[in-house]
Amino acid sequence: MERIKLFNEDNLELMRKLPEESIDLIYCDILYGTGRNFGEYQDLKPVRSIIEDHYVPRIKEMYRLLKPTGSIYIHCDWHINHWIRIILDELFGYERCVNEIIWCYTGPGVNNQKNYSRKHDNIYLYSKSNKYTFNTQDIKVPVSEDTLKKFETGGSGFKGKKADFSKGKLLEDWWYLAPTARFKNETGLYPTQKSIQLMERVIRASSNEGDTVADFYMGGGTTAVVCEKLNRNFIGCDINVKAIDVTKKRLVSF
């Protein structure tokens, strides 16, 4: 069976052809609603009606495609994150919001700007049901010796229980990860490309080997690269043919 499938077409048309409850995990680094032309694609204008017209039918299809144990990550930023959250609440249910993850990064600001430097993205994690896949042990991080000693000498954990950090600790809902531009072997392939480090965290947490992962706004194909590495099946879609070409060049199996 072909493990990596790439489609160059409108993602809504593709999703309508895929079988119900056939996908374990969906990650989408969506159009951010900046109104900008990025050369490879024209972003949506930050107008609520335009955003809803585009995303409501697509997120409806994503809900249909997810298995009962499945989950979805929608990656966006301050331009339209408030409207996206409302759409997700309405289509998945307010109670199905698992996390709002904040991806933080640093970089130079602009002189004389009249605002705080905008250096974070929002990633919304929603589940299809309360029985969703979440591999806690796969996303634990090491704990420093100082922290271990602090808890060994009287520190307590949640609700007064002794904290056990012998196998690391669970990630917080804010992730301080360098942007893709800092990784010389990854940068420059496609505008708005996300890093392998970021995608490994998502895919390890919310899928298992042999599961099917989909990215309907595939861009430079980092999701596909990580799925190939971690032995997941992958469905990728982008309306821009260059995204397909870049992704194929990054994959071993093509």
Q: Quick one: DSSP state of residue 190?
A: S
The domains of the chain are located at: 4-133+173-250, 141-171
Please report, for residues 52, 83, 171, 189, the alpha-carbon distance to residue 35 in angstroms, rounded to integers and kept in the order given: 15, 15, 34, 22
Strands (E), 77-198: 97-104, 120-127, 140-141, 169-170, 174-176
pLDDT tens column, 139-167: 888 887 776 777 665 555 555 566 677 77
Looking at the structure, give the CATH architecture of the domain made up of residues 4-133+173-250.
Answer: 3-Layer(aba) Sandwich (3.40)
The bridge status of strand 174-176 relative to strand 4-7 is unpaired
Structure tokens at 41: 């694609």
Q: Can you give the pLDDT at residue 21?
A: 98
Render pLDDT for 1-60 as a digit per residue (tens, 0 to 9).
589 999 999 999 999 999 999 999 999 999 999 999 988 889 999 999 999 999 999 999
Q: Which helix (H) or strand (E) holds 71?
A: strand 66-76
Residue 140 has φ and ψ, to the nearest 5°, of -80, 150
Percent of the chain with pLDDT over 70: 90
Sign of the C-alpha dihedral, residues 186, 190, 193, 196?
negative
Pairing of strands 140-141, 169-170: antiparallel
pLDDT in tens, 55-94: 999 999 999 999 999 999 999 999 999 999 999 999 999 9
pLDDT in the model for residue 164: 72
The 10s digit of each residue's pLDDT in 179-214 is: 765 555 665 678 778 999 999 999 999 999 999 999
pTM of the predicted protein model = 0.91
pLDDT in tens, 169-179: 889 999 998 87
